[in-house]
Every structure is written in structure tokens, then in C-alpha cells.
Amino acid sequence: MKRTKKLFTIFVAICAAVSMSSCGKGDNSKSTSQKTSDTVSEVFAESSIESEAESSIESSIESKTESKPESKMESKTESKPECKAESKPESKTESKAESKPESKTESKSESKPVSKPETSKQTSRQESETKHETTESPSGEAHETSKKPEQSEISKQESLKPVSEKPKEESQKPAYVEISGIKLSEKNISMTVGSTYKMYATMVPENATRDDFVWKWSDDSVISLSDNGTVKAKAEGTATITVETYNKKTDVCTVTVTKKPPEPVKPKEPEQTSKPSSENSQPKTEDKKPVSGNNSSSPERSGTYVGASWFDDAVFVGDSVSVTLANYADDYGALGNADYLCAVSLGYNNALWDLYNPNNVHPKYNGTKVTVDEGVRLSGKKKVFIMLGMNDVGLYGVDGTIDGMITLTNRILQKSPDVQIYIQTVTPLIRGMARGGLNNTNVALYNEKARQVCAERGFIFVDVASAVEDSEGYLIYDYCGDPNYMGLHFNYKGCAQWVEYLKRHVE
């Protein structure tokens, strides 16, 4: 458009020169025509300079607007026309070059980058990507307001990345607990041909990550052993059972199998003993007092014989000595359908421990570990036979054992107030097996104090020790199942004597 205007100006100047030359005469006409030609040449020279400047300016603007800021383009476009304009010697050309090209170049350099589609797209794209807001200062210059909101948004997004969840997952992963040992429920057991016995293996610690182990036995002709720890006596003899963990931790039990089971000692005429007589009628009347009654005159029962079904409503609480009794009773049906809350190393004091104690030795009820008081409640039985104290006397002394007995029986009565409690005496050791505080002197002292507690609290005192001890107070050797090891566990012959005593002294 601007070139058209310039051509039009040139055309008008030529026409004016022609008309002047046609109208002029003589020297005046010559001088006029000379002036006209000079004017035309100046116009052409000026137009060529301007077109040259414009073309160079436009090319430089177009090449630099895409890569460089607007401020640099303004300075470069302004400098080029000025240099070319100053190179002309004529004053008119200088004034025109200084006024026209500068103003046009500035307007072009300021307006063209905005009107170019590519530049506007790039600007809008940059604005959408960076999301920077601009404000205009009092001087008219545009500047960025702030980048802090962007950084806070980025930090929020980074905090929500899944990588931050990894430490959380690692903290929830349980720690690996190595097995330090394994413990069998018995060290020595006595069996008869054809009988069965259930062995239990306990990991140390009980919260070990892996609990896999294998059973091994020395003589397949004497015993057999199933995967769940059930031992079956096949022939007379001796065999050893070994349990081994994956990391070679072991424990061993010795099994002694006899050919014939011992015959229980039965009364000659049990029917006659059930009839009342002048000698035992008075004790029998006193024995029928309720659980809460004070039976201080005669806490021990005697004289009436009962059958195995009498124990259907009973639960036996005890340590490893009572574990052997439970096995014998199951093999021969000696105590009817009684339940058993018995465990190796159980005592009055550790029976008070919490279930979450890693060292607890609580018994199991229906395959689940329970405290004694909770096990009694779950069983629903009304007769509770307790034989504990063997594992307490050596550790806590006689008085500490009595304190544990009182606390445990209180807990049982809190959960099961309608039960009748029977306290069985601790049985003695065989000769020569005393060790530390665990000796027959302390056992006898505890039994005597237990008798007093039963008289005060209305418990029934059952003196099993008197049925299995010799004249000097030692466990009869023939009743001992581990004479070469601990000298305090029973064999089945001793269990038979124990059961017969119970049947004579519980009613």
C-alpha cells in the first residue's frame, strides 16, 4: 500500500514537470525542466532508499520475531534505517529518513509480532503451559506477578506421587523372627501296647515367622508316629522321638512301651460302700454344702466310690504331671467325658500372665490357647480339679505359690461363680531327685497350707499325694515314669492309682 502511494507521488511529480515544461519558454523553461528532472530524480532516489530500508526492515523483523523478544527487535529495526538514512548527504533526505522510516519501523516492529498468527499461537501456548499472570506497572511495562503458587502446586503434586507410599509399605511389613528352639510337651512317656499318645511341639519363640518341623522316631517296630504328633505303641520296648526344625533345632522324648496295661485297683464291693453307714453318714451330710459354704471341719472327701461318668461335668487343670493323667484317662475312659486344661510348665503364677506374653505356657481349649479362667468358662463344666504348684515352689517359694493359687481361683470364680473347686495336692518326687527349692519338704509345706486355704474358702481338698507316696514321703518308684530324668512324672500304673483315689474321695 505504501509503495502504491509513493508511485502515485512520483507519477504526479512527472506530470507536473511535463506540464511546466510545456508551458515554459526560453531559459526559464530550461531551468524549470532542469529543476523538474532534479526533483523527479530525488523522488526516485528517495523512494528507492525507502523501499530498500523497508524491505530490509521487514525481513529482519520477520526473521527475529520468532526467536527473540520484542525489545531486541525494536532496537535492531530502529538502528538499521537510521544508519542508511544518515549516509545520504542531502538534508531533505536526512529529514525524511529520520522521520518516516523510524516511525514506520517502530510501528511495524510493535504491531507485526502481535498480528502474526504464529507468534500469537506461541504466546498463547506459553501462557497456557506456564500459567503465568502478568500485570502492568505504572510505567506501562508488563512483568510477571509471582511464581510461588506454581511451586506450591508442584510440591503438592510431588507429595501425592506413589513413591511416597513405599516407606509406608515397608513399615507395615512384619519383621522376620528366627526360631531359636523347639520344645516337646513331654521328655519321657510310658505307654502300653495298643495305646496312643498325643505329642505337642511348641516353637521358641512362639511368634517365629516359620513354624515348619518334622517328626522322627528311632524304632518303627516299637512305635509309630503320625504327622500331627500322635504316638501309637506297637510292641514292648523303648524308642526315642525327635522333633527337628528347618534350622536344625531339636528336642527329644523317650517312649517306654510295656506289654500289658496295669490293672486298676478296684474295691471289692463298690455297691456296699455307696450305702450310708453310721461311720460315714455324718461326713457325707457335711460334704453336700454349697460351693460358697465354709467346710473347714472336713475339706477332704472319703468313703464314697463313684464311676467314670461322675467326671463328665469336670475339667482338670494341671501341668505336665496332669498331661499324663489326661492321656491315661483318654486311653481307658477312666474319667468319662472330662475336659483338660493342662500344659507343660504351667503353674499358678504363669497362669496369670497375659495371652500376649511371648513366654506364656497357657493350655489350649479346642486347639486355641486360652487362660485358665477363660478355659473353664468356655468348657461350661461345674467341677474344677486343679493340680498346680510343682513349677511354682522352686521359683516363688511356698507363700508365693499360695498367693498364686488364691489369685487364680478368684479369677475362675469371677467368670464362673457356680463351679465347685477341687484342689489336688502336689505329688512328691522320688528319692534323690530334689533340686533347689523343688524338694519334698517344700512340697509338704505347700500341701499343708493349701489344706488351710480350702478350709477357709470352701474348696474341696483332694490329697492325691497320700495315695502315691511311700512311708518316707517319696513318690513310689513303681509309679514314676521318668526315674532317670526328673523323677516326678507318672507312668500309667501311677495314673491308675491316682484315678482310683479320685473315685473314692470326691463324693
pLDDT at 228: 76
C-alpha cell at 71: 525489545
Which range in 162-171, 247-256, 453-462 is most confidently predicted, on average pLDDT?
453-462
Residue ranges of the chain that CATH labels 2.60.40.1080:
181-258
Q: Residue 79 pLDDT more than 60?
A: no
User: pLDDT, tens digit, for every residue of 329-384?
Assistant: 999 999 999 999 999 999 999 999 999 888 899 999 999 999 999 999 999 999 99
Q: Residue 487 pLDDT more than 50?
A: yes
At position 445, the amino acid (one-letter code) is L
Matching CATH number, 181-258, of 2.60.40.1080, 3.60.20.30, 3.40.50.300, 1.10.8.50: 2.60.40.1080
Q: For the CA atoms of the chain, what is the radius of gyration?
A: 56
Residue ranges of the chain that CATH labels 3.40.50.1110:
282-505
Dist CA 441 CA 393 (whole Å): 10
Q: Residue 88 pLDDT more than 70?
A: no
Report the chain's mean pLDDT, rounded to a whole number: 73
Q: Residue 284 pLDDT more than 50?
A: no
Percentage of the chain modeled with pLDDT above 70: 58
CB atoms inside a 10 Å sphere around CB 37: 13
pLDDT at 45: 60
pLDDT at 104: 43
Mean pLDDT score, 271-289 = 36
* pLDDT confidence bin for 196, thresholds 50/70/90: confident
pLDDT at 176: 84
Superfamily per CATH, domain 282-505: SGNH hydrolase (3.40.50.1110)
- Which is higher by pLDDT, 318 or 107? 318
Percentage of the chain modeled with pLDDT above 90: 37
User: pLDDT, tens digit, for every residue of 211-241?
Assistant: 788 889 998 888 988 877 888 888 888 999 9
pLDDT at 213: 86
Mean pLDDT score, 303-312 = 89
Residues 6+ apart with CB under 8 A from 236: 193, 222, 257, 258, 259
- Going from the C-alpha of 138 to that of each of 135, 143, 145, the distances in angstroms are 10, 11, 14
